[in-house]
Structure 1
Amino acid sequence: MQRWTNMSFLNMEPVGIRPFLVSVMLRSIYTIGLGPTLILLGAANLCNKIVFLVSFVGNRGTFTRGYRAVIMDISSSHHLFDLVYREETLLNVIKSVTRNGRSIILTAVLALILVYLFSIVGFLFLKDDFIMEVERLKNRTPVADTGTVPTTTLTAMMETCSKDNCTTTIPAIESDEDNDEDGIERTCDTLLMCIVTVLNQGLRNGGGVGDVLRKPSKDEPLFAARVVYDLLFYFIVIIIVLNLIFGVIIDTFADLRSEKQKKEEILKTTCFICGLERDKFDNKTVSFEEHIKSEHSMWHYLYFIVLVRVKDPTEYTGPESYVAQMIVTLTYLVSKWLEIAG
């Protein structure tokens, strides 16, 4: 029986830890107040972070590897995103891209369609203008392929020349690298290469794809077509489409910043309970600061909610029963809203 009890205790899941912690926090708020409770929770969170950091550093061998190895450790870089999550300004930078992500994606699709159309025009009519300078890597070939004469051959040549009184100078062997056209390459022989070239070089240059193509002469028959091609790509893709994407991101970030400032302004100039603004108390005997600290202090309402949560329901008064019912209803509605939103 004792063995079965021990096994059941070992297999039991810690389902009551979270409610226990919540009850301890609510009890501490009711007993010592909200301010000291927040200070204790902040100190506990700080200690938890310090313990986590010390344990992580110790397990990764940071004390023995040095600071350079820690900075170059790729596996620990994801912890830096915790700063982005906690800082609202940095989080708004991420939201400026993700909030209107659909508009940005659709605009990017439009840019890809335009690049595809310009690539087709370049492949059909301006294929000879897609000539670019490249830097080829020197091939590392074996010794036998580089033109070096083996040692046995050199010995035989030296012996033959000593008998025939010929010169011992070894003739130079021409390398294949001298015959390569280094620096010039056609990049539009296929439609796929045209698309890659226009997408890669066109979007990364301030003047469009015309900055990297061959500079035509005014006497060529397709000179006017080439000018129109370069100008259309510059105005349509570079100026209009790319600036549309940048404009969506910048406008979203500005809206997020305005929302943040508006929330802060509301908290400073509006009562959290009744919603009256600061200017409503200009000609009153009670100032706005006295109103939010004594008459409608939000912490007093929080204390009352904590009292309702920790008090025995059989000892509720009329207002306490009404508030308890409203809390249950509000909790149910919030849970349903989270299920629908999630």
Structure 2
Amino acid sequence: TSELKPVGHGAMLLPWGLGYGAQLRTWVGTVLWMAGAALSLFSSPFWHAGHLLMVVHKSSLLKNVIRSVTLNGPSLLLTLVLATILVYLFTVVGYIFFAEDFVGTGDVSGVCTSLMDCFTFTMFKGMRAGGGLGDLLPATALQGRVLFDLSF
């Protein structure tokens, strides 16, 4: 004969424990939203910006967008590393051959005084320029410089 064995206390609490985790997450989220609302009322209205994240919380489409970025995070990070390496290689070529073309604005005469300064200029100014470094550097007709500008 098969007898029913008593269920241990851990097995009885398992469904309640799973629901408790979801309830705790909802409760913590509610407390954080209320804290943000209180801070925005009593401290600064800039805390209201945090409540805009509720749009992401409510929209399944935006959750999929966030999920696609976070699931491919390592690939995106390696792409950023590759881009940084390529910009550094262009910086080395620019520093060796075209350092005098890297001119600053205002009272700064040159921005390629060191490789680090040249890399910083190339990374922050060159990546944001619409046409790359060619838009920022003075126009010259040197064949090497034209190739450098077009390949960046």
Which has the greater radius of gyration? Answer: 1
Residue 200 (structure 1) aligned to one of 124, 128, 132: 124
State the distance in 1 between where 2:86 and 2:54 align: 39
- In structure 2, the partner of 1:253 is none
What is the number of residues matched between the two proteins? 126
Residue 80 (structure 1) aligned to one of 36, 52, 55: 52
Residue 97 (structure 1) aligned to one of 69, 74, 79: 69
The change in CA–CA distance for 1:82 and 1:107 in structure 2 (over 3 A counts) is same
Aligned partners of 1:130 and 1:186 also within 8 Å = yes
Aligned partners of 2:40 and 2:46 also within 8 Å = no
- In structure 2, the partner of 1:190 is 114
Return the structure number with greater relative CO, CA threshold 8 A, min gap 6.
1
Establish whether residue 110 from structure 1 lines up as the match of residue 95 from structure 2.
no
Normalising by structure 2, we get a TM-score of 0.68
- In structure 1, the partner of 2:136 is 212
Query: Pairwise mapping of residues 112-151 of structure 1 onto structure 2 (< 5 A)?
Result: 112-134=84-106
- In structure 1, the partner of 2:3 is none
Superposed CA RMSD in Å reads: 2.9
The change in CA–CA distance for 1:194 and 1:60 in structure 2 (over 3 A counts) is closer
Query: Pairwise mapping of residues 172-251 of structure 1 onto structure 2 (< 5 A)?
Result: 182=107, 184-216=108-140, 218=141, 223-233=142-152
State the distance in 2 between where 1:200 and 1:83 align: 32
Unaligned runs of 5+ in 2: 1-12, 20-25
**1:131 is paired with a residue of what secondary structure?**
coil
Aligned partners of 1:208 and 1:230 also within 8 Å = yes
| TM-aligned CA deviation for residue 87 of structure 1 | 1.3
| TM-aligned CA deviation for residue 60 of structure 1 | 4.4
- In structure 2, the partner of 1:260 is none
| TM-aligned CA deviation for residue 121 of structure 1 | 0.7
The change in CA–CA distance for 1:83 and 1:227 in structure 2 (over 3 A counts) is same
| TM-aligned CA deviation for residue 133 of structure 1 | 1.6
State the distance in 2 between where 1:108 and 1:56 align: 33
| TM-aligned CA deviation for residue 201 of structure 1 | 1.3
Name segments (4+ residues, structure 1) moved above 4 Å: none
What do residues 133-171 of structure 1 show as CA deviations (whole Å, max 9, x unaligned)? 24xxxxxxxxxxxxxxxxxxxxxxxxxxxxxxxxxxxxx
The change in CA–CA distance for 1:124 and 1:79 in structure 2 (over 3 A counts) is same
Query: Pairwise mapping of residues 222-301 of structure 1 onto structure 2 (< 5 A)?
Result: 223-233=142-152
State the distance in 2 between where 1:60 and 1:131 align: 47
Aligned partners of 1:132 and 1:214 also within 8 Å = no
What do residues 241-262 of structure 1 show as CA deviations (whole Å, max 9, x unaligned)? xxxxxxxxxxxxxxxxxxxxxx
Normalising by structure 1, we get a TM-score of 0.33
Unaligned runs of 5+ in 1: 1-15, 23-44, 135-181, 234-342
